[in-house]
Structure 1
Amino acid sequence: MTDKAGIHPKYFEYCYVAFVAFLLLSNIAATKLIEVPTPWTNLVFDGGAILFPLTYILGDVLTEVYGLARARKTIITGFALSILASLTFWLVQLAPPAADWHNQEAFEAVLGFVPRIVAASLGGFVVGQLLNSVVLARMKQRWGEKNMWTRLIGSTLVGEGADSLVFCTIAYYGIITGGTFLNYLIVGWAYKVAVEVVLLPLTYAVIGAIKRAEPAYSPQAWAQREAVRAAR
């Protein structure tokens, strides 16, 4: 996949694959709710919290380095493969179990819940990730390469907030209610934002390393893009 100047990105495919893989794994892990006691209150979150924040970091990398169009294509791919995974688990659940296989209930208890998780994930994912990418891209258009930390954190606050609200409501509203649901919603959003803030130095390092390695960010590429613009 080359850009308008005919330059092929070196590391886009790796970010693309990692993003989709983290999303699919998070959808399965999110079928389990985890409760951690603290001196003040018990914190409730789902297993998807382990990997899912990394999809936002990768989304930032994709948008910051490769642009909104490629980030959007990656998000749509993750969306489509999540639907395929959900459909596969549903069909396997419906298929008659072998006579000597006695784990049907266990399978249904875990992977049978995946379609609802995937529906929640898709709703939150589309809203949250697209908002994250759009906010990041718009801020970059306004400020250029400077103030990257404000773009990364600002887009995460918006994207993760929308994602958490949609996901928690579709996935667990009615299963958990009242204070537990609010706990789950707030803790999930705060945790995901905190992960991005804590890993911000790593995100900076990754983005910087990829930009230095990508031909599209070389002085020759900048001159080539300027020549393309001038020729229009």
Structure 2
Amino acid sequence: MSDQINMDAGSPFNKFTVITSLYIILLIISNLMATKLVTFWGMVLPAAVIAYPLCFMTGDVLTEVWGYKTAKKVIWLGFFANFLLVVWTNIGVYMPYPDFWQGQEHYKFIFNAVPRITLASFAGYIFGELTNSWSLEFIKKFTGERFLFIRTIGSSVIGQVLDTLFFFTIGFYGTVPNKVLITMIVTQYLFKVACEALGGTPLAYMLVKWAKKDNSVTPPGSLSNCI
């Protein structure tokens, strides 16, 4: 048996599996990073802001190559994976631990998510990702296979609105002044869209090109028209 991984469309370890795994890994990384607050040019943002736009980008690749119906299934799979992460890490919080272990409060701080924040995260993810994926396929009806950057950036502009609005409104409304809440929503939205446009879109081009190459889902000759 060859040691080389078979990346053909018919292989159990194919390109769809790789992109799907990358999507879910980025989603889980984003949720684990979300408890850390960082500052960018005077703006206070969750550290996940550097990873979550890449999750959106990977969702764009799934929709671009395999279509909205397939991407929607992966989005729900990501939701289930995130739900399991929350459930099992919170079970770990309440498991008994030895007296000499000094890390309980640190572990609890990271994983004992406030229910309201968890709900906000789930709502933002579902509405944002589904809208992002649907928007990309809708825009593609007008652009065809060309101008991938219009689809990736345009869909993120739309999807990130819902993701950011749902997360901050559900998670923080009534706990911070409305003026501060609006500032948080606007700054994080602009930052995430900028990350998608400047960093995510070039990566999307590379992943789409790789996924469509020698892939049975790609019509012959369509790869050269995606620019």
Indicate whether the TM-score tops 0.5. yes
CA deviation string 1:16-51 (max 9, x = no partner): 001011111111111122234x4xxx2121011121
Structure 2: state its 5+ residue gaps: 1-8, 223-227
Please report how far the alpha carbon of residue 117 of structure 1 lies from its aligned counterpart in structure 2 after TM superposition.
4.2
Partner residue, 1:13: 17
Task: Give the aligned residue type for 1:210.
Answer: A
Normalization by structure 1: what TM-score?
A: 0.82
Q: Per-residue deviation at 1:90?
A: 1.6
Whether 1:29 and 2:33 are equivalent positions in the alignment is yes
Residue 215 of structure 1 deviates from its aligned partner by 2.6
The AA in structure 1 aligned to 2:152 is L
1:112, distance to aligned residue in structure 2 (A)? 1.2
In our comparison, the structure showing a higher alpha carbon Rg is 1
Paired residue secondary structure (2:113): helix
TM-score normalised by length of structure 2: 0.84
RMSD: 2.2
Q: Distance in 2 between matches of 1:105 and 1:208?
A: 46
Corresponding residue of 2:6? none
User: Which of 85-94 and 71-80 deviates more?
Assistant: 85-94
Instruction: Give the match's secondary structure for 1:215.
Output: coil
Deviation at 1:174, TM superposition (A): 4.5
Give the aligned length: 211
- 2:177 matches 1:165: no
Moved over 6 A (4+): none
Tell me by how many angstroms 1:184 deviates.
2.1
Q: Which moved more, 1:70-79 or 1:207-216?
A: 207-216
Counterpart CA distance in 1 for 2:160 and 2:84 is 24
Secondary structure in 2 matching 1:193: helix
Alignment partners' CA distance in 2, 1:220 and 1:26: 36
Aligned to 1:191: 191
Q: Which residue of 2 aligns with 1:64?
A: 64
Distance in 2, Cα, partners of 1:15 & 1:163: 22
Of Structure 1 and Structure 2, which has the larger fraction of its residues in helix?
1
Q: Whole-Å Cα distance in 1 between the matches of residues 122 and 215 of structure 2?
A: 31
- Given that 2:60 and 2:152 are in contact with CA atoms closer than 8 Å, whether structure 1 keeps it comes out as yes
1:160 CA displacement: 0.7
Unaligned runs of 5+ in 1: 1-6, 222-232
What is the CA distance between 1:175 and its match in structure 2?
4.6
1:43-192 equivalences under 5 Å are 43-113=43-113, 116-192=116-192
**Which amino acid counterpart does residue 152 of structure 1 have in structure 2?**
T
**Mapped contact 1:43–1:183 kept (Cα < 8 A):** no
Write the deviation string for residues 87-108 of structure 1: whole angstroms up to 9, x where unpaired.
Answer: 1122111223222223222222
Q: Percent identity?
A: 31
CA apart distance, 1:143 = 3.4
User: Is the Cα contact below 8 Å between 2:49 and 2:192 reproduced in 1?
Assistant: yes
